Amino acid sequence: MATALMYGRTVEHLFRKRVDWPGDGIKVMLCTSAYTPNQDTHQWKSDVTGEVAGTGYTAGGVTLANKTLTYTDATNQLTLKADNAQWPNSTITARYAVIYDDSGVTDNAKPLLGYIDFGANQQSSAGTFEIVWNAQGIFQVTVA
């Protein structure tokens, strides 16, 4: 199960109305070990380097399907979910996955939301590369 870490500017992007989780095209792209995520300084897609290339992978990644946003009163938690991300019939190697809002016109206007560090290179060989999101959600925020 993949647990995503938020970039530091994600909440700012939400409050500045740059991201609409249910309404915008939210994507996840894969990166090689050449990319080093920086939670504090990376805030736009243009900050990301080392996107993977390979059979079955299209630059920019895949759009997350069936996104939901729910708030649970009893736990004071906001949960963002979507279907697992898949690249079928692919031959790729990735170390990171980066989640971003693709609604901006240029990469300098596409806010980063979060990333996953797989801990080591993960690969597919003429098979399906899949990110299985944590059952509790891609992101879960507790309001205190």
pLDDT(1) > 80: no
Residue 2 pLDDT grade (very low, low, confident, very high; cuts 50, 70, 90) = confident
- Per-residue pLDDT tens for 60-110? 999 999 999 999 999 999 999 999 999 999 999 999 999 999 999 999 999
> What are the backbone angles phi and psi of residue 14, rounded to the nearest 5°?
-65, -45
Instruction: Specify the pTM.
Output: 0.95
Question: Domain boundaries in the chain?
Answer: 5-142
pLDDT for res 74 = 94
Percent of the chain clearing pLDDT 70 (strictly above): 99
Query: 69-106: b or e for each residue (b if 16 or more CB lie within 10 Å)?
Result: eeeeeeeeebbbbbeebebeebebbbbbbbbbbbbbee
Asked if 48 and 31 count as a contact pair (C-beta separation under 8 A), the reply is yes
Element spanning 140, H or E: strand 139-142
- Per-residue pLDDT tens for 40-59? 999 999 999 999 999 999 99
Report d(CA 95, CA 50) in Å as an integer. 10
pLDDT(144) > 90: no
Report d(CA 71, CA 31) in Å as an integer. 31
